[in-house]
């Protein structure tokens, strides 16, 4: 499956400049457990990591085998025995914050992109939940 439309939407979001900041504003406000998890975070490092992780997740959905080991490592970090355990329930919140932020920031947003974004990020989320 090709998600070049989602890669392109994400590229426009990144060039618009404030995607990652707007995402975290939303995500931290969405659930107390999220704000609690990020209390001691080094934000410049985290924002760089997320920027990269989203592209990786989209490529993972395309079946790009070279990103699978990277995705597996991220899943491990968020598993119950990992450095930053993440309850599976929170992935729905993460996904909706992603889609809402893309809708707000992509200067050429069209509503069908919402489902395309969900499709492009779901395989990564499914993997994280499976590995929890
Ligand atoms: C598929 C969705 C997600 C992806 C791809 C992702 C990816 C990442 C990556 C790449 C890192 C950096 C890991 C490192 O430093 O080695 C990270 C850290 C983190 N993530 Fe996620 N994450 C996701 C969902 C979530 C969710 C739902 C939460 C909810 C609380 C969360 C909370 C955190 C926290 C607290 C950190 C560590 C921040 C710190 O160092 O203080 N993540 N994530």
Domains and CATH numbers, the chain: 4-131 (1.10.490.10)
Q: How far is the CA of 120 from the centre of ligand 1 (A)?
A: 18
Q: pLDDT tens, 29-87?
A: 999 999 999 999 999 999 999 999 999 999 999 999 999 999 999 999 999 999 999 99
Residue ranges around ligand 1 (CB below 6 Å): 34, 37-38, 40-41, 46, 49, 53, 57, 74, 77-78, 84, 86, 90-91, 94, 124-125, 128
Rounded CA gap, 5 and 34, in Å? Answer: 29
Please report, rounded to a whole number, the percentage of residues in the chain having pLDDT higher than 90: 98
More confident residue, 17 or 25: 25
Nearest CA to ligand 1 atom 4: 53
pLDDT at 25: 97
pLDDT at 51: 93
pLDDT at 27: 98
pTM: 0.94
**Ligand 1 atom closest to the CA of 93, numbered from 1:** 27
Site to probe by mutation for ligand 1, drawn from 46, 67, 72, 80 as the one with most ligand atoms within 8 Å of Cβ, is 46
Burial class (CB in 10 A: 0-12, 13-18, 19+), 44: exposed
Q: Positive or negative, the Cα torsion across 24, 50, 11, 65?
A: negative
Neighbouring CB atoms inside 10 A of 131's CB total 16
Burial class (CB in 10 A: 0-12, 13-18, 19+), 49: middle
Query: Is residue 113 very low, low, confident or very high in pLDDT (cuts 50, 70, 90)?
Result: very high
Q: How far is the CA of 78 from the centre of ligand 1 (A)?
A: 7
Q: How far is the CA of 86 from the centre of ligand 1 (A)?
A: 8
């Amino acid at each position: 499956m090709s998600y070049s439309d989602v890669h392109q939407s994400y590229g426009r979001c990144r060039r618009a400049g404030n995607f990652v900041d707007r995402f975290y504003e939303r995500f931290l406000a969405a659930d107390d457990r999220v704000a609690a998890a990020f209390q001691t975070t080094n934000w410049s490092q985290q924002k760089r990591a997320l920027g990269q992780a989203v592209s990786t997740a989209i490529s993972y959905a395309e079946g790009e085998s070279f990103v699978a080991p990277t995705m597996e490592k991220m899943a491990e970090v968020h598993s119950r025995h990992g450095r930053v355990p993440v309850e599976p329930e929170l992935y729905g919140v993460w996904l909706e914050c992603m889609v809402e932020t893309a809708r707000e920031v992509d200067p050429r947003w069209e509503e069908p992109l919402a489902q395309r974004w969900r499709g492009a990020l779901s395989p990564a989320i499914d993997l994280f939940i499976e590995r929890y």
